[in-house]
A and B are shown apart, each in its own frame.
Chain A
Amino acid sequence: MAGLGKNYKAGEVIFRQGDTGNCMFVIQDGEVEAIAESDGREFRLRTMGRNDFFGEMALFEEETRTATIRTTKPTRILSIDKKNFLGGIYEDPSLAFRLVQTMSHRIRDLTERLARYEQQK
């Protein structure tokens, strides 16, 4: 009974690449994988665990989800409303600090991967 968020079984899809959305998610317990789908094939981008968040791009852009998120084990996830999040940032911009930090790490990770890919080409 205790514990916040919503429970998902292993292998459940939280959202699919191309879906529209207006919230982001924070993992309370468990693990998810981010998957890019192209030409019917799946590419695992990364896995995420407790306290990691995903789906944050939907808070800033009116675009569709860029990856599919699927649980790899029983997982509990808390959703963060766009209105609540942006209202919080309006009052206290430092609320976005952790989000910016994580997005910065992800850009760094993707840049390194792209460099490796270019070398292998």
Chain B
Amino acid sequence: MTLGDGARIAVIGAGPAGSMFSYFFLSMAETIGLDVAIDIFEPRRFCHRGPAGCNHCGGIVSESLVQRLATEGIRLPDCVVQRGIESYTLHMDVGDVEIATPLMEKRIAAIYRGIGPRSSEPLETHSFDGYLLDLATQKGARVIPRLVTGLRREEDSMRVQCADQFTDSYELAVVATGVNSRLTEMLERESGEFARPDRTKTFICEFHLGRKVIRETFGPSMHVFLLDIPRLEFAALIPKGDYVTLCLLGDDIDEALIDKFFSAREVRERFPDGVIPGHVCHCYPRINIRSASPVCGDRLVFIGDSGTTRLFKDGIGAAYRTSKAAAKTAIFHGVSAEDFGNHYAPLCRRINNDNRVGKLVFRFATLVQKARFARRGILAMTAHEQRQTDSPRRMSGVLWDLFSGSASYTDVFLRTLHPAYLGALLWNLVAANLPGSPSGNGRAEKGGHGHVRH
């Protein structure tokens, strides 16, 4: 079951996974001289502000993905990058510490999936999703602005059905709708053999603070909070152009949890005069926390969030990896369930296995959230490392990769088992909790990279 000249492919959804699949598929087809056509079904237009043009996401392109895209020749233009991030600032009740890259280089991109929050002023911005879709259309993909409501298997093709009764058949259907669409729900209900991904609710909102305030209070740093709030796994304030995006991840985020987060002193202190302004835009998007099953069938493949993604982090990076793996399989091997099973599913299994380790890592982070003495030790060890320029930055590296999603959870976990890491952590746990130690008595505050003020 292979694709020949004249084959037609339907890509459902023009988020990063759908657009990158189309871009890589058409690039590879061009390289080997295969004449194929791609139709991307996407009713959303990324030139609209607010929910109409947004794909509901915190909007971070990880360090590893920025580098891989650059290697592929895909440069993220300045109008797409709302802010280059060069450090993370960790906020805890025992103090704050800034974790900077040794090179002081901006390698993480804060982006908008649409072109900005609802009610925002006209900005010189370009949607990240819109930019990737442009790359795909420049390669020859055609955008069909229709909502797909059904997908039916025929003898030698997949039939796509749209809300406006439009219908057409294709040699391959690529589902890249994410988890916030009704298509995967419908496929689960009607097929009887497909289980859509398990999901949980998150919270994202945007605050308008203006560039000057953001530069002075947030800088080119992503602010991450490790607070003792039940069900909260990760919280971050991400500075962008005139806005700051708040992203809360955890177990079914609800209003009670959000109120508790906003009432935390560490959060209020991040805003001018300690007052949290009203948000201009918010949503409760769902995220994939367990892979779809199966992720492929004959002439059918699920990529990005619709199939498999990384737990809590680097969803766009997972979209890149799954979309490219699916494109390579379809071009060089074939489009049967067996082809995808042999050449695409192994990547999904690797991501799923890594997510299992990720759950363990986040469980450990939850323990740290609850143990003040552990937070003191982590603060002391990180601050000490940031002050040194020539010694290994073991804790900083672990935290950096955990926050940024730049390394696999397995890699992060294995590094925490290194005797030197464990020894240094033990030493800092003792030293930071001795009576009379700087952080043992109260709250240490940041005064530059790794400098703690008491």
Interface residues of A (CB under 8 A from B): 1-6, 26, 28, 50-51, 53, 78-81, 84-85, 88, 91-92, 94-95, 98-99
User: At the interface, yes or no: B286 with Cβ under 8 Å from chain A?
Assistant: no
A14 to chain B, nearest CB (A): 12
B321 and A2 contacting across the interface, CB-CB below 8 Å: no
Contacts of B325 in A (CB 8 A): 92
Closest Cβ of chain B: how far from A60's Cβ, in Å?
14
**Are B106 and A88 interface neighbours, CB within 8 A?**
no
A88 close to B68 (CB less than 8 A):
yes
Distance in angstroms between the alpha carbons of A78 and B71 in the assembled complex: 10
Contact A1 B71 (CB under 8 A): no
Report how far A80 CA is from B241 CA in the complex, Å: 25
Contact A98 B71 (CB under 8 A): yes
Q: How far is the CA of A79 from the CA of B107 in the complex (A)?
A: 8
- The reply to whether B105 and A2 contact each other, CB–CB distance below 8 Å, is no
How far is it, in angstroms, between the C-alpha of A51 and the C-alpha of B68 when the chains are bound? 13
Whether A28 lies near B75 (C-beta < 8 A) is: yes
B71→A5 contact, CB < 8 A: no
**B107 in complex: contacting residue of A53, A78, A98, CB < 8 Å:** A78
B388–chain A nearest beta-carbon distance, Å: 20
In residues 38-85 of chain B, which contact A (Cβ within 8 Å)?
A: 63-64, 66-68, 70-73, 75-76, 78-79, 81-84
What is the bound-complex CA distance between A92 and B79, given in angstroms? 29
| Cross-chain contact A6 with B106 (CB below 8 angstroms) | yes
From B84, B215, B347, A2 is in contact (CB under 8 Å) with B84
- A80 x B84 contact (CB < 8 A): no
B1-60: which have CB < 8 Å to A? 28
Give the docked Cα–Cα distance between A28 and B63 (Å): 15
B81 touches which one: A2, A53, A79, A91 (CB < 8 A)? Answer: A2
Pick 5 A–B contacts, CB within 8 A, sort by A.
Answer: A4-B109, A5-B105, A26-B70, A26-B75, A85-B67
When distances are taken between beta carbons in the complex, the residues of chain B under 8 Å from A98 are: 71-73
A78 to B, closest residue via Cβ: B70
A residues near B163, Cβ cutoff 8 Å:
none
Q: Are A3 and B84 in contact (CB under 8 A)?
A: yes
Chain A neighbourhood of B256, CB < 8 A: none
B242 to chain A, nearest CB (A): 11
In the complex, the answer to whether B68 meets A6 with C-beta atoms within 8 Å is: no
With contacts A1-B220, A2-B84, A85-B71 known, is A79 near B105, CB below 8 A?
Answer: yes
Contact B68 A84 (CB under 8 A): yes
User: Is B211 located at the chain interface by the 8 A CB criterion?
Assistant: yes
Tell me whether A2 and B71 are in contact (CB under 8 A).
no
Give, as a whole number of angstroms, the nearest-CB distance from A95 to chain B. Answer: 6
Closest A-B pairs by Cβ, 6 of them = A6-B105, A26-B70, A3-B78, A2-B78, A2-B81, A80-B67
A3 close to B106 (CB less than 8 A) = yes
Q: Which residues in B have their C-beta under 8 angstroms from that of A92?
A: 321, 324-325, 328
> B417 in the interface, Cβ–Cβ < 8 Å?
no
- Looking across the interface, which residue of chain A has its beta carbon closest to that of B219? A1
**Are A6 and B211 touching (Cβ within 8 A)?**
no
Q: Is B103 an interface residue (CB 8 A)?
A: yes
Residues of A within 8 A of B81 (CB): 2-4
Instruction: Quote the shortest CB–CB distance from B414 to chain A (angstroms).
Output: 14
CA distance A5 to B70 in the complex (A): 11
